[in-house]
A and B are shown apart, each in its own frame.
Chain A
């Protein structure tokens, strides 16, 4: 009993006799854990500055990119990840870098980059286990790229084993009916009849207003010329008509693009809602 007490005491005091192993990232990690991401990034940069081997430099860059990701600076996060020397690291570490690049690319709106990193992970042997968890993320990325066919194939390849049948069928049905995207050029051509392009774009009220204004200028101009007021008819009637006519054509094209963007957003959000409501995405 006495010996046990003295041993415990020696153990407690031993911490004063040892300097403690200097952990390279201890300060930076503790700053990161307390949410001081800017200061943590600084300390990781210090670790890079003091490092004498690539392993520490690569690890520091990886952790620094996490700081920028937390700060919402996805551009800088990708820059740091891009500086990691992939040739000097193992497959398992390379896989982690690609995974992080895919996630940060998605968060930063760089979906093509994100997809290319997913493809690189699929080609890595070290990513084999992870690929089983990757498919929902791949679907989200493909949706953002409007690649709904590829997205559907990915869903068919993985979801049946995991998702309940009802939601799986619901998603398949949604993929059978992708958002109907309209053509801005068609809207501009249709606008040769004022207001028709707006109707095609899905803005009927604005189309009616455009039609009314164009008709008003045309009528005014024609009536003035009929009454013998040639200058008034030509400059006000024809002049006003040409301004509104070409303006409404350009407007119809813009409205189609706006509507397309809205439809795609709603469609992708709906799929995301169903997907993430039914499976746990473990990145």
Chain B
């Protein structure tokens, strides 16, 4: 063969081998060892508190691998990262993927259920808690503690009494919160919602008294002073200048507006009073549902 032919031949060999190695590299099957290493790296990131980076690493993972242990761990890390970034729905979605056989299952299960409770999805949270029975005494009591908290959130006092029968008050990570829930329960059943009609009638007779009845002393005094002053000014102008004088009309109109506003405001204050009571206790319950989880699954 001519030397020229040899050169062409060797160049062709070079080009083909280059392309082949490139194509092979692209279509290598995913190695489990690589995924395991990646899992360790994601664990490191979550331990360091680098949750966004952990989720970014998770998103880079290939989808075509089958290993339940690694899948469970990765789902847990993704769920835990979303939880710390306050993405509760996504957190619950990933934590729900953790299987019962995984070492992360108890923590994933409880936090996922807590996420649903926090988002107001009480039925889902309750069903998840009720779906499992734990051999571990502490976990079993924690389950009833969480269910009792959800019952308080729903205002279902009968269910609270039933679940709280499982309180032992002996586990360090639970006893303070159990005592607190009992106290919250007492507050809630003894709560007197106060009457909107009574507040309105009181304010119509004595401006501001309805707001004082609703527990708003400062607002009640202000309403009384403003309405009384405008009433006094209107009366002064009425008696000195007559009913058709512009000042009587202006101040009379202002007095009417403030007087009616004071009555409406008093009625609305009762609604606010009830709402504030509910919100305060809801925050307290949700916060104290969370503390034992941190203590049990540190």
Contact = CB atoms under 8 A, between A and B. Distances in A.
Contacts of A230: 236
Given A13-B14, A16-B17, A232-B237, A42 B232 contact: no
Contact of B14 (A9, A38, A39, A42): A9
A227 to B, nearest CB: 9
B45 A232 contact: no
A55 B233 CA distance: 82
Interface string B190-214: 0000000000000000000000000
A49 B44 CA distance: 8
Interface of A: 2, 5, 9, 12-13, 16, 38-39, 41-42, 45-46, 49, 228-232, 235-236
A229 B236 contact: yes
A276 to B, nearest CB: 35
A68 to B, nearest CB: 11
A39 B21 CA distance: 26
Interface stretch (B50-58, B71-79, B140-148): B50-58
B247 interface: yes
A228 B241 CA distance: 11
B41 interface: yes
Contacts of A2: 3
The interface residues of chain A, by DSSP majority, are classed as helix
B53 A5 contact: no
Interface of B: 3, 7, 10, 14, 17, 21, 41, 44-45, 50, 53, 56-57, 60, 229, 232-233, 236-237, 240-241, 247, 251
A41 B229 contact: no
Contacts of A16: 17, 21
B57 A42 contact: yes
A232 B17 contact: no
Given A42-B56, A46-B41, A229 B237 contact: yes
A12 B56 contact: no
With most chain A CB atoms within 10 A of its CB, the pick from B3, B45, B232, B236 is B236
Given A41-B53, A49-B41, A232 B236 contact: yes
A229 B7 contact: no
A114 B236 CA distance: 67
A31 B233 CA distance: 76
Contacts of B60: 39, 42
A232 B251 contact: yes
With most chain B CB atoms within 10 A of its CB, the pick from A49, A230, A232 is A232
Contacts of A228: 240
A5 B178 CA distance: 85
Given A229-B241, A231-B236, 20 more contacts: A2-B3, A5-B7, A9-B14, A16-B17, A38-B56, A45-B45, A45-B50, A45-B53, A46-B41, A49-B41, A49-B44, A229-B237, A229-B247, A232-B233, A232-B236, A232-B247, A232-B251, A235-B229, A235-B232, A236-B233
B57 A231 contact: no
Which 3 A-B pairs have CB atoms at the shortest separation, nearest pair first?
A231-B236, A235-B229, A232-B233
